[in-house]
């Protein structure tokens, strides 16, 4: 129901037998995970953007569902399915590197200014890219790869926290880092570190080191 409501509200798919079969197989692919159900919905919507739903259903069967059937029953089938679904979103290099950089913080909440700073660092190295920082952030939110974190509950009524917090689900982190080359992991860690350092008052930078939670065997990159 979670998937079908989202898909039917954003596409003109008619629930014929063929479409119902695809939806049923996609539901099996999520293994009951709300995170994967949301991503699966976005995969269907992305495939249907071309307007030809019959072609979209055939591509979904061939490119997403059939590879999942191969992974079905393996030891890490949930991770394998997550990788297939995230891959079905066809992230471009800016979105992929932004998500990898966010993954360096683990599943802890990330302030909005850090998220936009990360995309800004990446875009500054791509002068010909037409994206804006907000576009990258909105694309990750739209595709359900980044989610709003619940508001903080503060002990003192006088305290306030104005920044919006975001969070990357752990299953998405595992999927986006799975199979990613070490060189890109190092780059992502460097970007994540630079984004944090940029928000720290001058003189306190020496106390901050890049996180190595995702690859504990790796030596932190020197910034």
The overall pTM is greater than 0.85 = no
User: How far are the Cα atoms of 75, 193, 196 from residue 200, in angstroms, in the given order?
Assistant: 43, 11, 7
| Residues 122/92, Cβ–Cβ less than 8 Å | no
How do the pLDDT tens digits run along the chain, 223 residues long? 778 777 877 787 776 777 888 888 888 888 888 999 999 999 988 888 867 778 888 888 888 888 877 766 666 678 888 998 999 999 999 999 999 999 999 988 999 999 999 999 999 998 888 888 899 999 999 999 999 887 665 555 544 455 789 999 999 999 999 989 999 999 999 999 999 998 877 655 555 554 444 443 444 444 3
Q: Is the dihedral angle over the CA atoms 110, 116, 117, 118 positive or is it negative?
A: positive
């Amino acid at each position: 129901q979670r998937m079908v409501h989202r898909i039917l509200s954003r596409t003109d798919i008619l629930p014929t037998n063929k479409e119902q079969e695809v939806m049923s197989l996609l539901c099996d692919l999520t293994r009951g995970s709300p995170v994967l159900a949301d991503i699966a919905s976005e995969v269907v919507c992305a495939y249907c953007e071309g307007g030809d739903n019959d072609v979209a259903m055939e591509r979904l069967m061939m490119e997403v569902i059939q590879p999942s059937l191969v992974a079905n029953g393996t030891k890490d089938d949930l991770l394998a399915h997550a990788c297939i679904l995230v891959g079905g979103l066809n992230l471009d290099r800016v979105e992929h590197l932004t998500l990898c950089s966010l993954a360096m913080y683990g599943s802890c909440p990330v302030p909005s200014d850090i998220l936009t700073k990360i995309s800004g660092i990446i875009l500054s190295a791509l002068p010909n890219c037409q994206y804006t920082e907000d576009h990258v952030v909105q694309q990750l939110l739209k595709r359900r790869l980044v989610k709003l974190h619940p508001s903080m509950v503060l002990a003192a009524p006088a305290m306030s926290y104005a920044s919006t917090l975001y969070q990357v689900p752990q299953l998405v982190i595992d999927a986006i880092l799975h199979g990613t080359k070490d060189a890109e992991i190092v780059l992502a860690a460097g970007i994540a570190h630079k984004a944090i350092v940029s928000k720290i008052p001058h003189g306190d930078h020496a106390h901050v080191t890049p996180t190595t939670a995702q690859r504990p065997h790796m030596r932190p990159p020197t910034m």
